[in-house]
Amino acid sequence: MIAMGIGYDRHRLAAGRRLVLGGIELEHDSGLDGHSDADVLSHAIIDALLGAAALGDIGQHFPDTDERYRDASSIELLGQTVALLAERGFATRHVDATVMIERPQLAPVRERIRVTLATALGLPVEHVSVKATRGEGLGFVGREEGAAALAVATVEDR
């Protein structure tokens, strides 16, 4: 069986935080606020994978009420999610994601992000798509209040 899942996440931008997307720290005057490193891209992919395998959501597996996950690396949580799916007999086949952030532009680091995600997912980089879009002045993304990501994951049971 082949299954697909959808994941979405969003976090506020806050001064004094690191900006991490897809496991890569980016230069920016603020970062995403959250219990972990608040990497919206990794979080959306985690939810897409969990959804494809019908295993709930990120909050069930990595709750923000659990101090073990304070300032956790979301790319490491993504690796743990892949391992959980493997334990349940699922293999990740493809991920497609879009990051919504006004700045910085992701084009200069897109390939680094793809490689980092592919490594965590155990996939060839050709099976990981990362796109970016700006809010162009509209909504919380356009006003630079936060960032969001949407992801679709395809998994196959073994």
pLDDT by residue (tens digit) across 83-117? 999 999 999 999 999 999 999 999 999 999 999 99
> Mean pLDDT throughout 11-24?
96
Q: What domains are there in the chain, each with its CATH number?
A: 2-157 (3.30.1330.50)
- Name the band, by pLDDT with cuts 50, 70 and 90, for residue 158: confident
Q: What is the mean pLDDT of residues 115-125?
A: 98
- Alpha helices, DSSP H only, in 10-153? 40-52, 58-61, 74-87, 110-121, 139-142
pTM of the complete model: 0.96
Can you give the pLDDT at residue 71?
A: 85
Task: Give whole-number Cα distances, 99 to 78, 79, 119, 129, 158, in Å.
Answer: 16, 20, 19, 11, 30
Residue 66 has a pLDDT of 87
The answer to whether the beta carbons of residues 15 and 27 sit under 8 Å apart is no
Query: Has residue 79 got a pLDDT over 90?
Result: yes
